[in-house]
A and B are shown apart, each in its own frame.
Chain A
Amino acid sequence: MTVLLSRIATASVAVVALLAGSTSGALAQKKYDTGATDTEIKIGNIMPYSGPASAYGIIGKTEAAYFKMINDAGGINGRKINFISYDDGYSPPKTVEQARKLVESDEVLFIFNSLGTPPNTAIQKYMNAKKVPQLFVATGATKWNDPKDFPWTMGWQPSYQSETRIYAKYILKEKPNAKIGVLYQNDDYGKDYLKGLKDGLGSKAASMIVAEESYETTEPTIDNHLVRLKAAGADVFIDITTPKFAAQAIKKAAELEWKPLHFLNNVSANVGAVLKPAGFENSQGIISAAYVKDVTDPQWANDPGMKEFLAFLAKDFPEANKLDGSVIVGYGFAQTMVQVLKQCGDDLTRANIMKQAANLKDFRTEVLLPGIKINTSPTNFAPITQLQLEEFKGERWVRFGDVISAQVSG
């Protein structure tokens, strides 16, 4: 008991000291919460470096390389970023363990870009109870834009639902009598996309969707699903698949001589990883929506933003495969984070981090498509809400129409 009492005494002394420290800090216009000092900002991160989603681990590695580059150039307002990234293997119980380790043991200022919908759902309540920011989570689920109930959690990329809503809008306008066949991955990502499509089609969803097929990531091939979609007489194909399966689907559709109007979700709209392996001749006319520039697309060869990105890869992250679409996304995430920290100045409290993250005005990382801007406000926690439709012609995506905003609130 005495030990406990003494611990409590120590704790209260520490609190008093902290309070004293913060008041004196205020005089010097410098404010810190746990994890920030005059020389360092501690950022936590959780990635699936192992397990079923390990392909996305490259995002964490890109960010680590980017922050190292920032540090080598002197850091942010004179402070170096200490980026602590842990592996959760995409298993929610492990995510909780790692998040608690970061917050309670490593004492990071906030957690940035933890990946995956189930892992982030697992820690959302904890992060908000602890009032530690859970910033720019790497998932497109719609629920991250909920500042009222979860003021410490924020997403980044356009939500999955908004993307399929855009497709639905396009179909209703251009092909009102379409017979739609959907192929989706049987998890949160696939179902979120599907919901967006159905919401977008509204009352016509039931009559327009003639076939829904779902597949598991463990299936070696999805050929049988395509055969069934074709047999159902679908003339529009909504393809909600991850890159490996997307390439299979494009190839198989060509083999079956099934030529529907093919919508490919943004997750797989990658020239190098999907369309090239599937064959350019099979990919003509595919429609998708994008917000980030595609490295493999020759139209960006002389783009300054792309050149900067490629220079970063060449100098600071040579081991990366630039064809991997996740690398450029990780770069965009890291740039947005740096912008928020710059805006924070010397007030590195958790409250100010959230305040500045919710105060991004027309911010652009130059890897975003022209015209797409990041905007947030205290009531809008969805940084990127814009997408642009694009059609695959020859060996590249050709964007058409305006940049479309399709915000769906959580």
Chain B
Amino acid sequence: MAAVQEVVTEAPAIDAVPKRAMTLSAGTTLIMLALLLLVPLFVKNFIIFQLTMLLVYGLAVLALNILTGGSGQFSLGQSAFYAVGAYTSAILIENAGMNYALTLPVAGFVCFLFGFLFGLPALRLSGVYLALATFALATAMPQILKLGYFEAWTGGVQGLVVTKPDTPDIVQTVLAWFHLKMSQDMWFYYFALAVTIAIYILSVNLLRSRSGRAFMAIRDNEIAASAMGVDVALYKTLAFGVSAAITGIAGGLGAIAVQFVAPDGYTITLAISLFLGMVVGGVGWLPGSIVGSAFIIFVPNIAEGISKGLSGAVFGVILFIVIFLVPHGARQVAMVAQHLLGRLKKR
């Protein structure tokens, strides 16, 4: 057994990402931010909704990125955390009449506990074994949500319809001075954007902090890390907890944006999509999360546009091409672009 695990851990699937390369330069960040702030003003509500989903899935991919890119642990069970977050928010809004914004920290906290507790047994597993254990969690979750015991809260197989939040009166009043109006979709987009930016900043800081260095030390070499005095068990479970908490908040946001939760929305397909988003965005590169999220939202639509009957196959081909040409995903593209820009500047 030990020998097998040795083989698995010996060749880490994730290349070590230097800390500096985990974020974008200040200029690029500002451009991205400006785009995210301004684009919704010029597009239809439907596109705003898609952009909101882009942020939501972006957050979920970011969470997985912290876990895999940061601490080197695999998870195919993110859909389970996402579902728990979504249901927590939905139940609190619909059954307890709580304000939607307040449900998000609760969803985050519940998922943190859930992730932390799941992280405890998961500690004994590594590599593909851990991936399998989390996979089991993802397959079990939709059925657990259907269970009769919880039906009074979860709505069972029928799911729960969530009321969409109105633009707050105060915002409406201020906008009214300028004879402007803000749709529910636009308001919720900016709300989600604020949450996303806050979490992004926190995540970057987390990875730059002592804990972040501990995560990365564990990722690069567990034995060396523990020799340096890193509490491997604690930080591995902590990484699971943090990742689950962020995924849970993303789930809560997603539930409000979609206005509906049902077990069928949180199947293993979602977990695999998030995993895919992480790989396409570049493992360990946080800004790539949004690229990965765009990939999992828009590429299936493009594939469907090319061929309805073979949309799955077309998607597969596109994915294959991407992985074949740029195995490190968006990070690699960004690095090449940066390199080219640098050469241009020199001339």
Q: How far is the CB of B34 from chain A (nearest CB, A)?
A: 15
Question: Of the candidates A5, A91, A125, which one forms a contact with B259 in the assembled complex, judged by CB atoms under 8 Å apart?
Answer: A125
Is B120 part of the contact surface with A, judged by Cβ < 8 Å?
A: no
Which chain B positions have C-beta within 8 A of A40? none
Q: How far is the CB of B315 from chain A (nearest CB, A)?
A: 9
Which chain B positions have C-beta within 8 A of A126? 259
Residues 119 to 135 of chain A near chain B (Cβ within 8 Å): 121-122, 124-126
Interface string of A167-207 (1 = CB under 8 A from B): 00000000000000000001110010000000000000000
Q: How far is the CB of B291 from chain A (nearest CB, A)?
A: 19
> By the criterion CB–CB under 8 Å, are B46 and A91 in contact?
no
> Given A100-B49, A188-B157, is A92 in contact with B312 using a C-beta cutoff of 8 Å?
no
Nearest to A54 among chain B residues (CB) is: B312
Q: How far is the CB of B99 from chain A (nearest CB, A)?
A: 20
Interface size class, chain B:
35 or more
> By the criterion CB–CB under 8 Å, are A118 and B143 in contact?
no
Binds A, one of B23-31, B165-173, B263-271: B263-271
Is A3 part of the contact surface with B, judged by Cβ < 8 Å?
A: yes
Which chain B positions have C-beta within 8 A of A186? 143, 146, 157
Please classify the interface of chain B as helix (H, G, I), strand (E, B), loop, or mixed, using the class held by over half of its residues: helix
Which chain A positions have C-beta within 8 A of B308? 49, 85, 87
Which chain A positions have C-beta within 8 A of B260? 92-93, 96, 121-122, 125
> By the criterion CB–CB under 8 Å, are A92 and B264 in contact?
yes
Which chain B positions have C-beta within 8 A of A122? 159, 161, 258-260, 262, 265
Which chain A positions have C-beta within 8 A of B46? 100-101, 103-105
Nearest to B255 among chain A residues (CB) is: A93
Is B156 part of the contact surface with A, judged by Cβ < 8 Å?
A: yes
Report the Cα distance A86→B53, complex, angstroms. Answer: 18
Q: How far is the CB of B179 from chain A (nearest CB, A)?
A: 7
> By the criterion CB–CB under 8 Å, are B311 and A93 in contact?
no
Instruction: State the interface size on chain A (CB cutoff 8 A).
Output: 38
Is B337 part of the contact surface with A, judged by Cβ < 8 Å?
A: no
Interface string of B223-262 (1 = CB under 8 A from A): 0000000000000000000000000000000100011111
Is B346 part of the contact surface with A, judged by Cβ < 8 Å?
A: no
Is B18 part of the contact surface with A, judged by Cβ < 8 Å?
A: no
Which chain A positions have C-beta within 8 A of B254? 93
Which chain B positions have C-beta within 8 A of A51? 269
Is A117 part of the contact surface with B, judged by Cβ < 8 Å?
A: yes
Report the Cα distance A129→B269, complex, angstroms. Answer: 30
Is B152 part of the contact surface with A, judged by Cβ < 8 Å?
A: no
Question: Of the candidates A89, A91, A96, A216, which one forms a contact with B143 in the assembled complex, judged by CB atoms under 8 Å apart?
Answer: A216
> Given A117-B158, A118-B157, is A93 in contact with B53 using a C-beta cutoff of 8 Å?
yes
Residues 75 to 91 of chain A near chain B (Cβ within 8 Å): 85-87, 89-91
Please classify the interface of chain A as helix (H, G, I), strand (E, B), loop, or mixed, using the class held by over half of its residues: helix
Residues 37 to 83 of chain B near chain A (Cβ within 8 Å): 41-42, 44-47, 49-50, 53
Report the Cα distance A318→B49, complex, angstroms. Answer: 39
Interface string of B135-169 (1 = CB under 8 A from A): 00001000100100000000011110100000000
Which chain A positions have C-beta within 8 A of B222? none
Report the Cα distance A118→B265, complex, angstroms. Answer: 9
Report the Cα distance A85→B178, complex, angstroms. Answer: 41
Is B342 part of the contact surface with A, judged by Cβ < 8 Å?
A: no
Which chain A positions have C-beta within 8 A of B179? 5, 8
Is B304 part of the contact surface with A, judged by Cβ < 8 Å?
A: yes
> By the criterion CB–CB under 8 Å, are A104 and B44 in contact?
yes
Is A27 part of the contact surface with B, judged by Cβ < 8 Å?
A: no
> Given A49-B311, A85-B308, A104-B45, is A91 in contact with B50 using a C-beta cutoff of 8 Å?
no
Report the Cα distance A188→B159, complex, angstroms. Answer: 10
Question: Of the candidates B41, B47, B53, B265, which one forms a contact with A91 in the assembled complex, judged by CB atoms under 8 Å apart?
Answer: B265
> By the criterion CB–CB under 8 Å, are A91 and B311 in contact?
no
Which chain B positions have C-beta within 8 A of A121? 158-159, 161, 260, 262
Q: Which residues of B contact A (CB under 8 A)?
A: 41-42, 44-47, 49-50, 53, 139, 143, 146, 156-159, 161, 178-181, 254, 258-265, 267, 269-270, 300, 304, 308-309, 311-312
> Known pairs A8-B180, A191-B156. 20 more at Cβ < 8 A?
A3-B41, A4-B41, A49-B309, A87-B304, A92-B261, A92-B262, A93-B53, A100-B45, A104-B46, A118-B157, A118-B158, A118-B159, A118-B262, A118-B263, A121-B158, A121-B262, A122-B260, A124-B161, A125-B161, A218-B139
Can you give 27 contacting A-B residue pairs, CB < 8 Å?
Answer: A1-B178, A3-B41, A8-B180, A8-B181, A85-B308, A87-B304, A87-B311, A90-B264, A91-B264, A91-B265, A91-B267, A91-B269, A93-B254, A93-B260, A96-B260, A97-B50, A100-B46, A100-B49, A104-B44, A117-B157, A118-B159, A118-B262, A121-B161, A121-B260, A125-B260, A191-B157, A218-B139
| List of 7 A-B pairs having minimum Cβ-Cβ separation, nearest first | A104-B46, A122-B260, A188-B157, A118-B262, A100-B46, A93-B258, A92-B265
